[in-house]
Every structure is written in structure tokens, then in C-alpha cells.
């Protein structure tokens, strides 16, 4: 079974600070997706990274896929209270099938 480890599990910061969330595995993934989930809602896709070394920016969010496609990071610059939520990474294994492997999630709290 391929596993994705997310760290940290919980992050509490002040508005305006930066934060980074990590998603690591010993397995290779053909693509990796990042989701944000707000309380009482389902996860919503933020970005998909496909190529090793790829960097994608979404306003104040920067996503990076490791060169070996085993790890990824999400960096938020100047965090705002609206960034509060559960961040999930999900990897698409190289093997056939359409099941994503999810990390355990990082709960982010941005205090005003």
C-alpha cells in the first residue's frame, strides 16, 4: 500500500505569516493533487501537479512537486483567515486504477 505522510498535522499562525505543508512518500506518483476542506464541507481541489520539479502558483499559494515525484509541498505567503481549513494531498499511483491515495491532512488555523 502506498502511503502519503503529511506534516505538520496542525499549524496555528497569525495573519500575515507564511506557512509550508509537506506531503512525503517513499513511492512514486504519476500526479499529486492538493485539496482544501472547510468545516462541514467536502474537499475542493486546489491544484494538480504532474511533472517532477513542477511549481504552480495560485495567488498566494505555491505548490511544488518533487523531482522524483515522491513528495510535494504547499507554501502560503501572507496567510489570511480565509486560508483556514484542512489541507489534503492525494497521489495518483503509477499502477493502473483510479484510486487516489490521501495523506492524513494538515489542519491550518490563521488567526486574525
Partner 1 sequence: DVKVTQSSRYLVKRTGEKVFLECVQDMDHENMFWYRQDPGLGLRLIYFSYDVKMKEKGDIPEGYSVSREKKERFSLILESASTNQTSMYLCASRGLLYRTDTQYFGPGTRLTVL
Please report, as ranges, the residues that interact with partner 1 according to CB under 8 A.
1, 30-31, 33, 35, 40-45, 48, 50, 88, 90, 92, 98-100, 102-105
Toward partner 1, which CB reaches closer, 17 or 48?
Answer: 48
Q: Provide the minimum distance between the beta carbon of 19 and partner 1 in the complex, in angstroms, as a whole number.
A: 20
- Least separation in angstroms between residue 36's CB and partner 1 is 11
| DSSP conformation letters of 41-100 | S--EEEEEE-STT-EEEETTEEEEE-TTSSEEEEEESS--GGG-EEEEEEEEESSSS-PP
Give the residue with the Cβ less far from partner 1, 48 or 73.
Answer: 48
Residue among 58 and 78 whose Cβ is closer to partner 1: 58
66 bridge partner residues: none
How far apart are CB 100 and partner 1 at their closest, in Å? 6
What's the min distance (Å) between Cβ of 64 and partner 1? 17
* Nearer of residues 13 and 86 to partner 1, judged by Cβ: 86
Peptide bond preceding 70: is omega within 30 degrees of 0, i.e. cis? no
Element (H, E) at 8: none
Cis preceding-peptide flag for 8 (omega within 30 of 0): yes
Amino acid at each position: 500500500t502506498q502511503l502519503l505522510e503529511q506534516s505538520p498535522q496542525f499549524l496555528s499562525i497569525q495573519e500575515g505569516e507564511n506557512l509550508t505543508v509537506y506531503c512525503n512518500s517513499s513511492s512514486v506518483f504519476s500526479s499529486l493533487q492538493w485539496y482544501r476542506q472547510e468545516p462541514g464541507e467536502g474537499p475542493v481541489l486546489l491544484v494538480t501537479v504532474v511533472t517532477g520539479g513542477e511549481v504552480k502558483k495560485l495567488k498566494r499559494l505555491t505548490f511544488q512537486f518533487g523531482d522524483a515525484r515522491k513528495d510535494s509541498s504547499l507554501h502560503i505567503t501572507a496567510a489570511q483567515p480565509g486560508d483556514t481549513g484542512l489541507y489534503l494531498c492525494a497521489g495518483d499511483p503509477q499502477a493502473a486504477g483510479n484510486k487516489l491515495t490521501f495523506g492524513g491532512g494538515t489542519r491550518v488555523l490563521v488567526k486574525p
